[in-house]
């Protein structure tokens, strides 16, 4: 094999192994935090115990609400705001835990990840909406 061919093969291998998606630090941190969420929401946001995340930007047009939802979880949200959540008035069924162990930065990072990766938002827009 010529050196050029080996070079192309190595480049292909490296790009195949690199995780897809933006390389922004906050997005990448959000992807790591999302591992905790994937057990219920699925690694592709397809849902399971937790709701599918494809319409998360319709549920929470305002990222602050998205962040607060993650922090409070179903029960905390219900105690604070009543039995529905989001702009779409989803009835709360009650199985989303509170993630009050995450700080404001981490909450915003995982919200950005969900909005971009599953909700189809543009990274720059979602970073801005979520306060970065
Ligand atoms: C133990 C399962 C579970 C885990 C873990 C979990 N969720 Fe959820 N999540 C749910 C359930 C169930 C709902 C629906 C809430 C309800 O009906 O009370 C939900 C709803 C949501 C919604 C609203 C989606 C929509 O459009 O209606 C978002 C956003 C969300 N979760 C984000 C997260 C994030 C971020 C994490 C990780 C930090 C996470 N969830 C971890 C179960 C879970």
Could you identify the atom of ligand 1 that is nearest to the CA of residue 56? 26
Inside any domain, residue 5: no
Query: Is the separation of the CB atoms in 101 and 112 below 8 Å?
Result: no
pTM: 0.89
Could you identify the atom of ligand 1 that is nearest to the CA of residue 60? 26
CA angle 56, 115, 96 (to 5 degrees): 50
pLDDT for 108-126, tens place per residue? 999 999 999 999 999 999 9
Inside any domain, residue 7: no
Whole-angstrom distance, CA of residue 115 vs CA of residue 121: 6
The number of domains in the chain is 1
Inside any domain, residue 90: yes
Inside any domain, residue 114: yes
Band of pLDDT at residue 99, cut at 50, 70 and 90: very high
Q: What CATH code is carried by the domain that includes residue 52?
A: 1.10.760.10
Inside any domain, residue 110: yes
Which residues constitute the domain of residue 82? 22-129
Inside any domain, residue 99: yes
Tell me what the pLDDT averaged over the chain comes to. 91
Q: Alpha-carbon dihedral of residues 117, 123, 125, 127, nearest 10 degrees?
A: 100
Q: Please give the distance, rounded to the nearest whole angstrom, from the Cα atom of residue 38 to the centre of ligand 1.
A: 10
Inside any domain, residue 55: yes
Whole-angstrom distance, CA of residue 90 vs CA of residue 98: 17
Q: Please give the distance, rounded to the nearest whole angstrom, from the Cα atom of residue 12 to the centre of ligand 1.
A: 36
Inside any domain, residue 116: yes
């Amino acid at each position: 094999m010529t050196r050029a061919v080996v070079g192309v093969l190595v480049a292909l291998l490296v790009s195949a192994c690199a995780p897809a998606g933006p390389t922004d630090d906050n997005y990448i941190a959000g992807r790591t935090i999302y591992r905790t969420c994937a057990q219920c929401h699925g690694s592709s946001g397809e849902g399971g115990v937790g709701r599918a995340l494809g319409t998360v930007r319709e549920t929470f047009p305002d990222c602050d609400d998205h962040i607060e939802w993650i922090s409070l979880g179903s029960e905390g949200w219900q105690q604070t705001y009543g039995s529905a959540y989001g702009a779409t008035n989803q009835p709360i069924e009650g199985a989303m835990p509170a993630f009050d162990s995450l700080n404001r930065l981490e909450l915003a990072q995982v919200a950005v990840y969900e909005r971009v990766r599953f909700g189809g938002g543009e990274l720059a827009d979602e970073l801005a909406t979520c306060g970065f």
